[in-house]
Structure 1
Amino acid sequence: MPLLEQSDYRPPFWLPDGHAQSIFPALFRKVTGVVYERERITTPDDDFLDLDWRFTQQPVSGQTPLVILSHGLEGNSSSQYIRGMVKHLNANGFDCLAWNFRGCSGEMNRLPRFYHSGATDDLDTVVRYALTKGYQDVYLMGFSLGGNLTLKYLGELGQNAYPELRKALVFSVPLHLSSGSAYLERWQAWVYTDRFNRSLKDKIRQKAALLPELVDASHVDKVRTIRDFDNFYTSQLHGYKDAEEYYEANSSLYFLDQIRLPTRIVNAQNDPFLSRDCYPYARIKTLKQVWFQAPPQGGHCGFYQAGYQGILWSEDLALRYLLKAY
């Protein structure tokens, strides 16, 4: 498919670069009026997932289209980019299901495993459960890590995707995990790495207190980078030899050519999280169902726009995309 080379996104003049465009909405944007209905479901391995629903009407009708949203690293259903998207889509006739990855809903999950960039079994559990509600038109949306998860999931499904799945849209996706992890080791990315690692290490300590015989927190103080964390914990808790094996097995870049659902990837060119390999222009041109849009600006899960009136550019784009006939 052709690359989508034009973009109407324009940042405010006072958010001049990718860092400012990423950090300002994450810290200062407030989305009000989103009240979820929480539901806990049991996973096939006897753990749990907390689902946060927001419906357009009661009683719930399966005739309403549904959007399933997957958040980013150390996010949850309350992240501003999730709440903002839910609010905008709800106001325009879409039910929304913002699910929380294991350990991200406010309560530690029961098993040693956490979530990770390729844990598509949990996304499939959520999709299959949503389909039991009678929805006939289901859309998938993901942000950052959740975008990688969504793309890998669709690639794994391939032509066996559930007929109710219509389209997918993902933002700020680290398509190539290894180079993305290395990119976050630059000094310019220290503020992001430090924030993620403080949260991740705290969860390891909680998990070790809950399951002392199965989770070893003794390596926590050695973690300085995301790759360190993935070497000591993500890979070991999920059956990989090391971080590199985990990255290679779960990078969505390697699953794009198997996607059979109309899918759009939106990665801003000034995203401070994304390496050059996360902009696979040549590969995208060979694909049949995947479109790629790389606005010059926007940051990471940012897209705070000039003349902001409560809606991000990404939220407006999502609504336009979902309402298109193709």
Structure 2
Amino acid sequence: MSTVILAVVAVILCVLFRILNVNSEPTKPVVFCKDRNFFESILKMAPLLNEPYQPTRLWGFSGHVQTVVHSIIGRVRCPLPIGERCLVNLTDGSTLTYDVYEPLEAKNIQPEDDFTLAICPGIGNTSESVYIRTFVHHATHQGGYRCAVLNHVGALTSVQVTAPRLFTYGHTDDFDMMLKQILERWPNTRIIAVGFSLGGNLVTKYFGEQRIRPSALLGAISVCQGYCALEGTKWLLMWHNFRRFYLYFMTENMKSIILRHRKVLLSEDVRKKHKLNERDIFSAATLPELDEAYTRRVHNFGSVRELYQWSSSVNYLKDIRSPMIFINAKDDPLVPEPMLSPVRNLASMKKQVLHLELAHGGHLGFYEGGLLYPNPVTWLDRALVALTAGIIQTSLKT
């Protein structure tokens, strides 16, 4: 009997070791960058790019654990920065909100040192999301930057929608409005955009669109985006690597947002105008099904494919003219490695573009240090502040 128990324990340990990937070793980020001068300028301010990323020893080498810990638990000993909520009434009747956080020494900031990080969170996330709060705390305290965080329309539980629309994967006008509001209030500030996941797609698309952008916008950093919604949904619809589970939770989150604002989003007039069927919306099992039943209809797209093509930053990469840095983890369960080829190619062909690939980190995790309990500040938080300084130094040279 004891032999059987030992065998079972051995099998369980083997499975755990395989899932947790504990045999892996820390490695340095892999850099894709054609522009040597740009890379060296960034490296001066971000020497951690030449250092191995040290994930939390017992579980940090698993992309799944990094992702789940990030999404369920968040950051360790997360501080709560105090900010100011700003509301803007848009011409379509929507109420846009964003939160502003000043650095500790805000009163002593000289005009030449006035920089603002314009932050765009991931799908259904806001300034109240834990990973946003900890990054804001680190950026304001260690970097000395003002932070402005876009709250995606409909995502805040405390703010009701005032028009029959939510945020989408490619709607960049809200981000543009936040930038205009920032510059109206602080006309001398210079802005660096930072986007996470869906927010990374929005920021990248914004920089590649045929539109007028503020001259104060110096560059951008994108974290863990998937670049192409069409390809991304193909991968997420697969059961391999548990991707279908992640898709399920994302779908349910979006459905809960629609349900929360049901009176406005699914009023009788709205249902008739866009030919919406509530049963189809709330029975949708995947995001493509939900986008067919709701999103593409409300935003007047002929098909989900058309919506995804319009939304995907991959279709706007060639027209980017500003410094940009992209960060992805190769063990990200939501963004598999084959989806990174477009940005690898971009960084290999275009000046002032840098792509960083880490072997580990999961989706927006990047916990580091410790055996079981990670450091309060993640590798990503540290890297973003340093990379922001690198973009600023690059802009000052030109």
Instruction: Render the CA deviation track for 1:94-123: whole Å, top value 9, x for unaligned.
Output: 010111011012223122221111101111
Distance 1:142 1:219, change over 3 A: same
Contact 1:175–1:251 (CA under 8 A) maintained in structure 2: yes
Q: Which moved more, 1:29-38 or 1:297-306?
A: 29-38
Q: Does 1:256 find its partner at 2:298?
A: no
Q: Aligned AA for 1:319?
A: V
CA drift of 1:284 comes to 2.9
- CA–CA distance in 2 between the matches of 1:321 and 1:221? 42
Q: How many residues align?
A: 325
> What does residue 72 of structure 2 align with?
27
* Matched residue SS, 2:122: coil
* Matched residue SS, 1:72: coil
Q: Aligned AA for 1:181?
A: T
Q: CA RMSD in A?
A: 2.1
CA drift of 1:316 comes to 0.6
* Matched residue SS, 2:294: helix
> What does residue 72 of structure 1 align with?
122
CA drift of 1:171 comes to 0.3
Alignment map for 1:281-300 (pairs within 5 Å): 281-300=344-363
> What does residue 197 of structure 1 align with?
251
> What does residue 238 of structure 1 align with?
299
Distance 1:62 1:129, change over 3 A: farther
Q: Does 1:183 find its partner at 2:235?
A: yes
Contact 1:173–1:278 (CA under 8 A) maintained in structure 2: no
Q: Does 1:213 find its partner at 2:269?
A: yes
Q: Does 1:120 find its partner at 2:172?
A: yes
CA drift of 1:85 comes to 0.9
- CA–CA distance in 2 between the matches of 1:218 and 1:62? 56
Q: Aligned AA for 1:9?
A: Y
Q: Aligned AA for 2:324?
A: T
Distance 1:169 1:207, change over 3 A: same
Instruction: Render the CA deviation track for 1:253-310: whole Å, top value 9, x for unaligned.
Output: 1111211111101011111111422332234311223211111111101111124331
- CA–CA distance in 1 between the matches of 2:135 and 2:284? 33
Q: Does 1:13 find its partner at 2:57?
A: yes
Alignment map for 1:216-231 (pairs within 5 Å): 216=276, 217-231=278-292
> What does residue 37 of structure 1 align with?
84
Distance 1:260 1:302, change over 3 A: same
Instruction: Render the CA deviation track for 1:206-245: whole Å, top value 9, x for unaligned.
Output: 3432323204422124311111112211211112112211
Sequence identity percentage: 25
Distance 1:145 1:62, change over 3 A: farther
Contact 1:120–1:153 (CA under 8 A) maintained in structure 2: yes
Task: Please identify which structure carries the higher helix content.
Answer: 2
- CA–CA distance in 2 between the matches of 1:252 and 1:214? 29
Distance 1:8 1:43, change over 3 A: farther
Q: Which runs of 5+ in 1 are unaligned?
A: none
Contact 2:86–2:98 (CA under 8 A) maintained in structure 1: yes
Alignment map for 1:148-163 (pairs within 5 Å): 148-156=201-209, 160-163=212-215
Contact 1:166–1:261 (CA under 8 A) maintained in structure 2: yes
* Matched residue SS, 1:23: helix
Q: Which runs of 5+ in 2 are unaligned?
A: 1-32, 40-48
- CA–CA distance in 1 between the matches of 2:34 and 2:174? 32
Q: Aligned AA for 1:121?
A: D
- CA–CA distance in 2 between the matches of 1:318 and 1:105? 25
Instruction: Render the CA deviation track for 1:180-201: whole Å, top value 9, x for unaligned.
Output: 1121122212332222222211
Q: Which moved more, 1:251-260 or 1:56-65?
A: 56-65
CA drift of 1:53 comes to 1.1
* Matched residue SS, 2:358: coil
* Matched residue SS, 2:268: coil
TM-score for the superposition, normalised by structure 2: 0.77
Q: Which moved more, 1:269-278 or 1:209-218?
A: 209-218
TM-score for the superposition, normalised by structure 1: 0.93
Contact 1:39–1:51 (CA under 8 A) maintained in structure 2: yes
- CA–CA distance in 1 between the matches of 2:108 and 2:294? 40
Q: Aligned AA for 2:91?
A: P
